[in-house]
Structure 1
Amino acid sequence: MFDKLNLGDLGKVLEEIQEKAKKIQEESEKKVFVAKSGGGLVKVSANGKGEIIDIDIDDSLLEDKESLQILLISAINDVLKMVEEEKKRVAMNLMGGQNPFGQQ
């Protein structure tokens, strides 16, 4: 069954796949995702790792704590969803376009 299997070639292929995956992941982690809520009154930025790197809040919200909280939660959830979608896109790219997550 494995008589004609060249393990040296298999090792090379796996190494190439690993290098490609690492490069794609590094590129993805450098991306910045931005989500806005309240018509742009709150803006949250995250990197490809899912770390929040910036929050911009319009001064008009500083007197309205409840609205600020709602808009901040909304923007954070949106930006984290963007990061997750990017991770799925990268995984699908590595899988040759086949979706390992079921539906899109």
Structure 2
Amino acid sequence: MFEGLNMGDMGKMLEEIQKKAKELEEKNESIELTAKSGGGLVKVTANGKGEIIDIEIDDSLLEDKEALQILLISAINDVMKMVEDNKKSAALQMLGGGMNPFAGGQGQ
């Protein structure tokens, strides 16, 4: 099962994966994702790590607490989904870029 497996190469590969993961985390801090709800009446912005960094609320919603709550929840849920999708995409790119140690023997 482990024929031809060089532990030195595995160690180098793990170091490279750790390095790429750290780069990805640093990159995610600078990414900004924005979701809107209510036709743009509410905007929520998060960074790639999933931290909410800005919320914009149109003044017209300040009189309608229930509508504000619904639109805010919607925008937050949307931006969190965007963050998750971004993380999955970045992880797939990292693995697809030759970093997948299990891809070598596929289809041969």
TM-score by length of 1: 0.81
Question: After TM superposition, which residue ranges in structure 1, 4 or more long, deviate above 6 angstroms?
Answer: none
Q: For residues 3 and 50 of structure 1, what CA distance do their matches in structure 2 show? A: 41
Structure 1 pair 39/15, CA: closer, same or farther in 2 (3 Å)?
same
Query: Percent same amino acid at aligned positions?
Result: 70
Asked whether the equivalents of residues 25 and 90 of structure 1 are also in contact (C-alpha less than 8 Å), the reply is no
Asked whether the equivalents of residues 25 and 49 of structure 2 are also in contact (C-alpha less than 8 Å), the reply is no
When structure 1 is superposed on structure 2, of 2-11 and 63-72 the one drifting more is 2-11
Structure 1: 5+ residue runs without aligned partners?
99-104
Asked whether the equivalents of residues 35 and 78 of structure 2 are also in contact (C-alpha less than 8 Å), the reply is yes
Name the counterpart of 2:51.
51
After superposition, the CA RMSD in angstroms is 2.2
When structure 1 is superposed on structure 2, of 89-98 and 54-63 the one drifting more is 89-98
- 1:60 equivalent to 2:60? Answer yes
TM-score by length of 2: 0.78
Name the counterpart of 1:77.
77
Q: What is the number of equivalent residue pairs in this alignment? A: 98
